[in-house]
A and B are shown apart, each in its own frame.
Chain A
Amino acid sequence: MDLVDLIEEKSFLGQDFLTWLWFKSEERGGAVLVPAIGQDIQVFFEKHMLLEYGAGEARENLVCRGLLTELKEARAGLALGKKPEQARLRLQRDEQEWSLTLKARLFELQSVRPPKTESGAEADADDPLAAEGLLLDQIGLYETAVRTIDQLFRMFLEIRCSTAWPGVGQNPGLGPQTVAGPGRYAEW
């Protein structure tokens, strides 16, 4: 399968991941245990979410935006079969915080704001060693963001490719319409 077909036919994988991650972030108030690092990281959905429904010309979009939003419209959209295509996330690990927008279709990371570093504040632009140090710091921070997303994605994939994944008609438990509590999805 070439790349264009892969993007078209398998784009649901990124959307399902965002849906799962949204559920995981709400399950324990933002805390998500990541086995690969043996500790909790914090994942918060905030400010912005775009949901999609359908494909091609029949595709519908729903944008939810707001500073302290609870994403109520997005939850309602989820109940109608829409899926998150992009979301603004805040990730915290090792006392550092990243904000980023994850676009599900291409796994594009937009407007990634890495944590501030001490070297970044003090670096002397004319000192090549300091400039290289700053660059290495910056690369490390972006790669940590990517690695964290990959660790979360791996957790999702292990469930998604197993029998633990809920079948058709099982809402992931994100909306007010949910009849079952998160306990129903304990395996997630």
Chain B
Amino acid sequence: MGLLARSASFVRYAVEGDLPENFWEFAAERIAAHSFRDIDETYDERSVGWVSVASMFDAEFSRAPYAVGDHLVMSMRIDERKVAAGILRKFCLKEEERLKTARQVPKLSRAQKGEIKENMQLMLLKKSLPAPAVYDLCWNLADNTILFFSGNQKAQESFEELFRQTFEVGVMLQVPYLVAEHLLPAEQRQALAEVEPAVFV
């Protein structure tokens, strides 16, 4: 349910910090440095980076530029290898049984079990394929606000981190109180700070 879908879900962010005057040059360099890198042919567990909003395979922005009028529009792609807990448990137990038989011991130590778990996790991760997820964003440069097209908290945290690494400025989720601070004139902000929950019964 991204920007180009028939319907979409999003949260709002405000960008906090100053951007360089030659913003588009800066953005071109930083986006290229943090564009998505494929991990299909590697054993990396996770990869996060920017791609074009038109295609998750377009990390060069050849199919759709990120500059759209006074907006910066692109997508964050996350590829991640995961191992299901049940599968990991099965392979750990299997390996524990094999070792107990091979060494002719009734049980293994906690440290040995930990080592087995680590090895099995690594072995299974290498065998698993990275699952992709794509989240669109639309940055209005005139008022320095962002629509981020996901309500998923983990995706929002990844976005906040990638955005900070890319543009060297922070973003703040615009919850009602922060939106209120932006909307109200300075003289009413004290009254806002003192507002208590209404009781209607």
A160 touches B195 (CB 8 A): yes
Whether A139 is near chain B, meaning CB under 8 Å from some CB there, is yes
Question: Interface residues, chain B, CB within 8 Å of chain A?
Answer: 1, 3-4, 6-12, 53-54, 64-65, 68-69, 71, 73, 138, 140, 147, 151, 172-180, 183-184, 188, 191-192, 195, 197-201
B4 touches A138 (CB 8 A): yes
Return chain A residues, CB-CB under 8 Å to B197.
12, 16
B200 touches A171 (CB 8 A): yes
A143 touches B140 (CB 8 A): yes
Q: How far is the CB of B132 from chain A (nearest CB, A)?
A: 21
Return chain A residues, CB-CB under 8 Å to B178.
6
Q: How far is the CB of A170 from chain B (nearest CB, A)?
A: 7
Q: How far is A157 from B198 in the complex, measured between Cα atoms in Å?
A: 13
Return chain B residues, CB-CB under 8 Å to A157.
180, 183-184, 188, 192
Whether A3 is near chain B, meaning CB under 8 Å from some CB there, is yes
15 A-B Cβ contacts within 8 A? A13-B195, A14-B175, A16-B197, A79-B200, A104-B176, A105-B175, A114-B7, A131-B64, A139-B69, A142-B3, A153-B179, A153-B183, A161-B188, A166-B198, A169-B199
Assuming the A-B contacts A161-B188, A161-B191, are A108 and B11 also in contact, with contact meaning beta carbons closer than 8 angstroms in the complex?
yes
Q: How far is the CB of A181 from chain B (nearest CB, A)?
A: 16
One of B6, B192, B198 near A113 (C-beta < 8 A): B6
Whether A34 is near chain B, meaning CB under 8 Å from some CB there, is no
One of B7, B71, B151 near A139 (C-beta < 8 A): B71
Assuming the A-B contacts A6-B178, A161-B192, are A109 and B10 also in contact, with contact meaning beta carbons closer than 8 angstroms in the complex?
yes
A111 touches B184 (CB 8 A): no
Q: How far is the CB of A17 from chain B (nearest CB, A)?
A: 7
Q: How far is the CB of A48 from chain B (nearest CB, A)?
A: 14
A12 touches B173 (CB 8 A): no
Return chain A residues, CB-CB under 8 Å to B173.
3, 106
Identity of the chain A residue whose Cβ is nearest the Cβ of B185 in the assembled complex: A158
Identity of the chain A residue whose Cβ is nearest the Cβ of B147 in the assembled complex: A142
One of B8, B179, B195 near A107 (C-beta < 8 A): B179
**What is the total number of residues of chain A having a CB less than 8 Å from a CB of chain B?**
54
Q: How far is A107 from B181 in the complex, measured between Cα atoms in Å?
A: 14
One of A81, A83, A154 near B183 (C-beta < 8 A): A154
Which 5 A-B pairs give the minimum distances between C-beta atoms?
A12-B197, A161-B191, A14-B176, A10-B177, A110-B9
Whether A31 is near chain B, meaning CB under 8 Å from some CB there, is no
Q: How far is the CB of B137 from chain A (nearest CB, A)?
A: 11
One of A143, A153, A170 near B200 (C-beta < 8 A): A170
One of A106, A112, A160 near B7 (C-beta < 8 A): A112
Return chain B residues, CB-CB under 8 Å to A10.
175-177
Q: How far is the CB of A49 from chain B (nearest CB, A)?
A: 15
Q: How far is the CB of A97 from chain B (nearest CB, A)?
A: 13
Q: How far is the CB of B87 from chain A (nearest CB, A)?
A: 33
Whether A172 is near chain B, meaning CB under 8 Å from some CB there, is yes
B175 touches A139 (CB 8 A): no
Q: How far is A104 from B9 in the complex, measured between Cα atoms in Å?
A: 14
Q: How far is A49 from B67 in the complex, measured between Cα atoms in Å?
A: 38
Return chain B residues, CB-CB under 8 Å to A11.
175-176
Identity of the chain B residue whose Cβ is nearest the Cβ of A131 in the assembled complex: B64
Whether A78 is near chain B, meaning CB under 8 Å from some CB there, is yes
Q: How far is the CB of A37 from chain B (nearest CB, A)?
A: 15
Digitize A81-122: 1 where CB-to-B-CB distance is under 8 Å, 0 elsewhere: 101000000000000000000011111111111100000000
